[in-house]
Structure 1
Amino acid sequence: MPDLKVLLVEDERDLLELLKYNLDREGYDVVTAETGEDGLKLVRNQPPDLILLDLMLPSMDGLEVCRSLKSKAETADIPVIMLTAKGEESDIVQGLELGADDYITKPFSPRILMARIKAVLRRADVDGEERRVLESAGVRVDLERHEVTAEGEPVDLTATEFKLLTLLVSRPARVFTRQQIIDSLHEGFAAVTDRSVDVQVVALRRKLGPAAGKRIETVRGVGYRFKD
């Protein structure tokens, strides 16, 4: 995807140089920062198409940077992929709930990162468009007719299951936390629990069948995503 600007915010110099090399090779226009403060300044001066944001930054950490970006109308729609160390599940959940689009844990393959970047940028291209039919990996959701097919076969879903599937398929590969799912499906009612979300997912997988059902992937300690 040439001519797309990526801001890389990373304080580990060796990793920063490695990521910049791989991004350059893919044709991205890369700008870098080693602190959260410098990253925000670059966003204001040169708004990027996507931000790769390390969580463990000196002074202003990645969560603070993400919160600042998503709280301002002019930067809220810029896609953010968080770079995290293993064992930071609570930070991952918090980042996703702040509005980050995806995350990847260190150490990671540059090829996997490039694929995730392309997936997030593809989703960003269609965000804001009113889509009445959603399709991904053999699953088709018709929003107007309230109909679902999997591998060409009709699937009978409850209203809640339909809303859950619509949420997941609308953003393939994006991880949704259980709290985000609760807020979306049940408008944040306190009586709804994490366990009830898990039960809905199990039922939805069963109804979609073996091939399509396995596309709903559990992200341990975080939530769920629809794997395209």
Structure 2
Amino acid sequence: MKHLFTFAFIALFSMSAMAQQVDLRKKISVSGTAETEVTPDIIYISISLKEYLKDGNSKKKVEITELETQLYNAIQSAGISRDNLMISNLSGYNTAAEKKKNPDFLVSKQYRLKVNDLNKWNAIIGDVDPKGVAYTNIDSYDYSKIEILKKELKIKALQAAKAKATYLVEALGNQLGSVIDIQELNNETFPQPMYSTSRVMLRGNSSLADAAPAPDIDFKKIKLSYVMNTVFEIK
């Protein structure tokens, strides 16, 4: 019986303590939103160069070194540092035995180029032998001041939430107190690039590449949207 009485006392004490911890403050929950769109200013392009035989003659091979030199010169002419060009992959580059055994063996080499303006790419690829370009595509893209922009949007969303809570509470004759809770949501959209028929995608076919005009290339913008869910005390 003594143990039962002790257990009952502890249970009663715990319930009393829990009751004292209940938050009885008057509160208001609101959300604030801030969003913007920016054009990517960092673009990474994959380029694959491949040796080829002129007129199918192995004695008239266009070497990978020649194609690579063309690419380097084109990049410098476009005002882009060579440091922005990196080798990403080699195919058959060290197979000297295979080249001796098979004169028609063709080496390919892949690169990754960082640019800030896609329209410069038209000038670059136009200075490289089209028959030596196996393919090009866009790997990824970003915005150079993305972190600064995220911070600004979060602050604006929080300020919007506070402004909303203030006029709602004052409409009822009360005053807004301090913030009790903050939670953030985000919706960052990195869409695929949008461009018209581009020489970038046609270099594998020289007749199509030569016939196509160099179009302006542009991206859909990156959309950043932040929602701040807040809880404020009502005085």
TM-score, with structure 2 as normaliser: 0.24
- Between 1 and 2, higher relative CO (CA 8 Å, sep ≥ 6) is seen in 2
Structure with higher Rg: it is 2
Higher fraction of strand: 2
